Every structure is written in C-alpha cells, then in structure tokens.
Amino acid sequence: MRKRGFLLVLCLIAGYVVFHQKQEVEIDLPGMGGASESNQVPAQTIQVGKEQIYKGNLVLINKDYPVHPGSVETDIVNLSERKELLSGFGLLNDKIRLPSNVLQKFTEMVYDAGKEGVNHFIISSGYRDRAEQNELYKEMGADYALPAGHSEHNLGLSLDIGSTLQAMNEAPEGEWLMNHAPDYGFILRYPKDKTAITGIQYEPWHFRYVGLPHSKIMQEKQFALEEYLAFLKERKSILATVNGERFEVRYIPISQDESIQVPVNHPYELSGDNGDGVILTVHLDS
C-alpha cells in the first residue's frame, strides 16, 4: 500500500509539472479576420508610414529580403569599450558590437544561466557592417554566410554565442540556450531541421532577438522566423498567453502611409516584416 501510495503521489506531481509546462504558452486562433480583442478597448488612431515595414524586432532578413537602410539598429556600442556592461561572459575580440537593448537582454539571460552553473559564454560576433560581412561571405561561402546586406548581423539583432568549454552543439551553454533563450526574447535562428526554409545550415551559435511574446510562440509552434511571419500573415490576429500574461498579435498590411487603431491604455509595439506589412503586438494585461 505504501508503495502504491508513493507511486500515486509521483504521478500527481508529474502531472502537475507537465500541466504547468503546457500552460506556459497558450495560443488562441480567432476565426480568419475575426474580431480583435484589442478592438474592444479604448483606442486612438496613429499614422504609420511605409518605412515602418523595415523597422523593428521582427524584420525578416535573408537572401530574398535585404537589410533596408532604415532597418539597422541604433545605439550600437563596442562592448570592449564598455567594460561595465560585461558580466557573465567574455568576448572573442575587441571588435564585438551590439545595440544596448540587445546587450541588456543578453546580460539578463547569461546572469540567470550563471545561477544554474552555466557560465562559460563568449560572444564571437555581433553587429557587422557590410564590408565585414562581405569578407566573411568570401571566407565561409554561401552555405554558412549570406552576402553583405542579407545577413542579420548587418541588422544588429543577432549575435553568435559560443562556449569556452566546447562546441555549442555539445556544450552546457548551448543546451541551456536551446531551452531557455526564448524566455528572454531570443530564438535559435537556424535550427537543424529548418535548413530548407532558412536556406542556411544548422548554426547552434547564431541567436536572433525577436522579443516577447514572439520568441515563446515560435518555440511553442516550432517555427523559424519565416514560418512565424507567414503564420501571422495568414491568421491576421492571434491571442497568446505567455507565463500568465495575455498578448494580441496582429498583422496589418501596409501599401502606403496608413492610419491604424492602437489601444490607449495598453502598451503596444510595432514591427515591420521587411515585406508588405507591420505586426502590432498589444500587451492586454498592462
């Protein structure tokens, strides 16, 4: 009886853990073009210029979608000149550059990894200008690099993360990031099983910042960025609950300067897709 009772307790605990893991991300898909929850709250009209298509955390950069001159992140800093910003990781050289906001999110992430004993991170590459990308493309070839202007590194939202212990596909740092990077807004940009979609071979070191809730939705749906943007364009609007907080994500086509409705009392973000639309993300619980 004691053994049976002990097994029952174990099953209940396991069920509780699995239930809460499944509840971490919930995605609700209203009918195609259906009612938007954010339309039920007080709203204001804002003007969105066509240039917004090329700006934001979700812009798609690949062989077909180049970096637009207005896409490059601002406030890019040389990390070796800002030693006070370095915590929990090293630099491959003194030329590593990142936007301040991406550096802040990365620092938060590696700090939490360090609390679990995973603390041998190194950044081997961040923002690159076109000349640097051109040199890399000549060196690495088309399977592992993109021409100048077609690399996320030219955008500023990507970084190559390594481990001082071993290769990332074997290191504790690589395993930790695979599981936890989406909690901080980062995605593994070129997964092993998405080569046909991304056009790039598996790169266990290349992470892209897309922000929350998008990174968690992509992890839940096992989407590459190309798939996620196509999904949003098809669905028009989705509702997502991430760690108990509700978001609405809407795709809005933009062919010229447009007037769109945004909430008055809820935070929101706009990002272009680098194609023909913008994504409006509304935090419904704030």
Judge whether 254 and 46 are in contact, CB under 8 Å. no
Handedness of CA 198, 204, 206, 209 (dihedral sign): positive
Angle between helix axes 225-235 and 214-221 (nearest 10 degrees) is 100
Select from 189, 278, 240 the least CA-distant residue to 27: 240
Beta strand pairing call for 121-125 and 158-163:
antiparallel
Q: Which of 37, 73, 173, 203 is catalytic?
A: 203
The answer to whether residue 81 is catalytic is no
Select from 123, 203, 113, 121 the least CA-distant residue to 166: 121
For 158, which DSSP code?
E
- What is the rounded end-to-end Cα distance, in angstroms, of the chain? 50
Judge whether 191 and 152 are in contact, CB under 8 Å. no
Beta strand pairing call for 121-125 and 89-91:
parallel
Select from 128, 139, 140, 131 the least CA-distant residue to 61: 128
Q: How far is CA 10 from CA 3, 21, 206, in A?
A: 11, 16, 39
Judge whether 197 and 226 are in contact, CB under 8 Å. yes
Residues marked active site are found at: 203
